[in-house]
Structure 1
Amino acid sequence: MNNNQVHIEGTAGSHEPQKWWHRRWFVIICISAIVLTIFAIILSLILKFVVLAPKESDITIETLPSPATRISTEATITEIATQLSNWSNTYSMNYARRGHQACVLMNGKVLVSGGIGNDDHLSSAELYDLSTGIWTITGSMNDARFTHTSILINGKVLVTGGAGDKGPLHSAELYEPLTETWKPTGRMNNARRSHTISLLKNGEVLVAGGVINNGIALHSVEVFDSSTELWSTLTNMNNARYGHTASVLLNKKLLVTGGCSDHNMYLNSVELYDPSTDTWTTISSMNNRRYGHTASVLKDGKVLITGGTSDVGEYLNSAELYDSSTGTWMTVNSMNHARAHHTASVLKDGNVLVTGSFTGGSADTSELYDSSTGTWMHVVSMNYARAYHTASLLTNGNVLITGGIHYNQALNNVELY
């Protein structure tokens, strides 16, 4: 009996350690599983919120823009689109010129004549070929002249007046593109410079106003008959003026605006010439006195007036429109820059390109008038600052800018818009 008891106790004693180890391995496995689970959770959180978290620049917020945001965005897009319009240099003229004239011929070439160089008055002329961008010397005029006028008539170029070495000129001459030569034509009845020239709807060429020695302004008017090459006088304007503008309207009348009278008196007066009756009628004045301004006939027949000088040293950025159907003036949005002795070109799309100016110094700025909205848009500046230059709308729609003055020096550089 004692042996059995001993055997049972020995058996029970030998099984006790085995049960304890089973429990220990079970605990170890459970703890390891918990630790691994916790580690996996921590690792996933680290991956989600630290390693793979999106950067601020990658976050896209889907929100509808406010009206102000849309306007700002549209303005930015407009500005970028405007900046795409730019200037490019082309070959320079053979002579530096200011106060010269430029005329687009029927073959698409551009004839530049006269002006003042850095030494003297010029009689030279040169041709720009838009297919090659090259300038070639052509026949010289019979008289050196600047602040003259030129116009295309019957395929030829008529040049009138201007100032020579001895003062204002009576002379006029015709350029024949086929022979590249000039010939004198009938002399005007009055010597004049800083006058206007206009091709009327009846084919006649009318010159008006101007100035002679001692700053005496003219109100005389005369007309050139291309068939006889003679000049005849017409009824005088109501006001003597020079540095004014003259625009042929759709109704065949001639609109004359502003300018300067004797003794530097700047004008806001306006008058209409009726070729059918040879009469001048004073109409509503502009809102500003202007000298050295521009006038552009828009596609709808209205006339856009820009800039100029209203008094000595006072330069304007204002603009106004003349409506021939009502005979009234309306102030429109001002230009971004004050300008005088600048250029304005009506482009093929109906907008108006304004370039350069003199406001105490020459400027390289340019801007576009949108005729459909009446607003001005910034345009990339020209490559050169200039005033008293010329701007010619080419047959391919580009605008050719030539010469002018900068720092009292005449320029020969040329650029294209």
Structure 2
Amino acid sequence: WSITGATNYARYIHTASVLTNGKVLVAGGDSSSGYSNSTELYDPSTAVWTVTGSMNYGRYWHTASLLANGKALVVGGVGSSGYLNRTELYDPSTGVWTVTGATNYARYLHTAAVLTNGKVLVAGGYIGGIYLNSTELYDPSTEAWTSTGNMNYARYLATASVLTNGKVLVAGGYVGGVYLNSTELYDPSTGGWTVAGIMNYARYRHTASVLTNGKVLVAGGYVGGVYLNSTELYDPSTGVWTITGAMNYARYIHTASVLTNGKVLVAGGLNSSGILNSTELYDPSTGVWTVTSSMNYARYLHTASVLTNGKVLVVDGYNITGYLNSSELYEP
């Protein structure tokens, strides 16, 4: 791991998107000044962060999705006015954020997935004591949101993964005091949700990664006072979850990145020992986790992005010193 440029604003619970030009757009988050509307760009060729246009609404716990037209769509979250149904688009060619269609339901701690047809599926989340099972679709060609089928289970802090068959797998999460081991599939061709296999362990604030073989790797998380080191694989061809190798360190609110060599890099997070700088690699060919070099800074609620050069950029987050503006690169 090597230190790279410092962000202009320290932040955590932000989003990071790799744009089509290879730059990384970081947006929003929580900072010492509260709900942030600041955004900035990392240029891998210079290792420099540059401030770009501010969002119209400060927010954190939102989602960011890269559209096929190269724009970035930010959805929901929480801001100074409360839970947001406001969404906005970033245009890399101008550096400007423009308000686009509002979601039918304000939500935060939801999931967002870009479908193979280019639409964005937003699912679940939370608003003012209500856990949501509602889902909706954003159409970039009309900039409008349309309600689609409800999930079988309301949930927040779940994961959403686009499978190679185009369906979306939502896994785990939390609802009303219950940690979920349920998973379900969204079929874009019907707009319906179908209950999928049950995970071996209920979990939330875990990670989910689509492997090059099409399986989904779920790692870590938290359930009822226990930090998890367990990981499991979902096989879309059978609909079954299978336990795979345990991580060396239990962790949640970490990141997971699929490297160009097919391995998965897990970084940072939190467990009963404290805030982690440890990182480890999962090898799908063996099902084994191996500890790799530690980050320079322990952190959680950071972001991790796989750059076009194959390196992984970890940005900001939080540790015992407070909000971080440090970023660092992992060289596989």
Deviation per CA, 1:237-275: give whole Å up to 9, x if none: 00000000000111111100000112x321000111111
* Equivalent position of 1:199 in the other structure: 114
Give the CA deviation at 1:177: 0.5
* Equivalent position of 2:146 in the other structure: 232
- Pairs within 5 Å for 1:5-404: 87-153=1-67, 154-214=69-129, 216-262=130-176, 264-311=177-224, 313-360=225-272, 361-404=274-317
Give the CA deviation at 1:358: 1.6
* Equivalent position of 2:326 in the other structure: 413
- Residue type matched to 1:283 in 2? A
- Residue type matched to 1:132 in 2? T
Q: Secondary structure of 1:99's partner?
A: coil
Q: Secondary structure of 1:350's partner?
A: coil
Cα distance in 2 for partners of 1:119, 1:159 equals 20
Considering fraction of residues, name the structure with more helix.
1
Q: Secondary structure of 1:329's partner?
A: strand
Q: Secondary structure of 1:345's partner?
A: strand
Deviation per CA, 1:44-81: give whole Å up to 9, x if none: xxxxxxxxxxxxxxxxxxxxxxxxxxxxxxxxxxxxxx
Deviation per CA, 1:306-327: give whole Å up to 9, x if none: 000011x210000000000111
Cα distance in 2 for partners of 1:266, 1:220 equals 19
Cα distance in 2 for partners of 1:186, 1:235 equals 19
TM-score by length of 2: 0.97
Structure 1 portions without partners, runs of 5+: 1-86
Deviation per CA, 1:271-304: give whole Å up to 9, x if none: 1111111111112210001000000000000000
- Residue type matched to 1:118 in 2? S
Cα distance in 2 for partners of 1:363, 1:211 equals 28
Structure 2 portions without partners, runs of 5+: none
- Residue type matched to 1:299 in 2? T
Cα distance in 1 for partners of 2:14, 2:286 equals 34
Cα distance in 1 for partners of 2:238, 2:316 equals 39
TM-score by length of 1: 0.78
Give the CA deviation at 1:408: 6.8
Considering fraction of residues, name the structure with more strand.
2
Deviation per CA, 1:329-373: give whole Å up to 9, x if none: 100110000010100000000000000012253210100001111
Give the CA deviation at 1:119: 2.8
Deviation per CA, 1:130-153: give whole Å up to 9, x if none: 000000100000000001000110
| More relative contact order, 1 or 2 (CA 8 Å, 6+ apart) | 2
Cα distance in 2 for partners of 1:365, 1:284 equals 31
Share of identical aligned residues, percent? 56
Cα distance in 1 for partners of 2:99, 2:196 equals 37
- Residue type matched to 1:149 in 2? T
